[in-house]
Amino acid sequence: MSNKILVTYATCTGSTRGVAEAIGKTLSEGGAEVDVLPMRDVKDLAPYRAVVVGSAIQGKLWLPEAMQFVQSHRLELARKPFAVFLVCMTLAMRNGESYRHFVVDFLAPVRALVKPISEGLLLEHWTSAKSPLS
């Protein structure tokens, strides 16, 4: 298995792509080899030692494409370090932090399929933090 990390995403308006690219950049700066790809372009997880999966939120849910990706790859994701993130404009609302406890529940369907080692609740702009995958 290679030392590569996959950061893959589903997006409606492009914001989630920007977040995925920022995550990929931070992981790369930490020394990891990273591919950042839309989910529709990912066919095989075998080349990756770890996977980060993210989705925009629509109607309090991950996008159907993202849920299908996790469902389809759940066995392989369970055998690798697996992290998730969501991009949600609810957190940008006035007093958005007060909604964090509510927004975290949007990941429950993902957690029911595969338990992630890390979760991120994000707006369009992601701030650097040490990743558990690096």
Average pLDDT over residues 42-61: 90
| Residue 92 CB partners (closer than 8 Å, separation 6+) | 123, 124
Name the phi and psi angles at 128, rounded to 5.
Answer: -65, 140
Q: Which residue has the higher pLDDT, 78 or 18?
A: 78
Residue 35's pLDDT band (boundaries 50, 70, 90)? very high
What is the structure's pLDDT at 128? 38
- Do 16 and 62 touch, CB atoms closer than 8 A? no
Query: pTM of whole model > 0.75?
Result: yes
Residue 92's identity, in one-letter code, is A
| Cα–Cα distance, 41 to 31 (Å, whole number) | 24
**pLDDT beyond 90 at 37:** yes
Rounded Cα distance between 72 and 133, Å, is 22
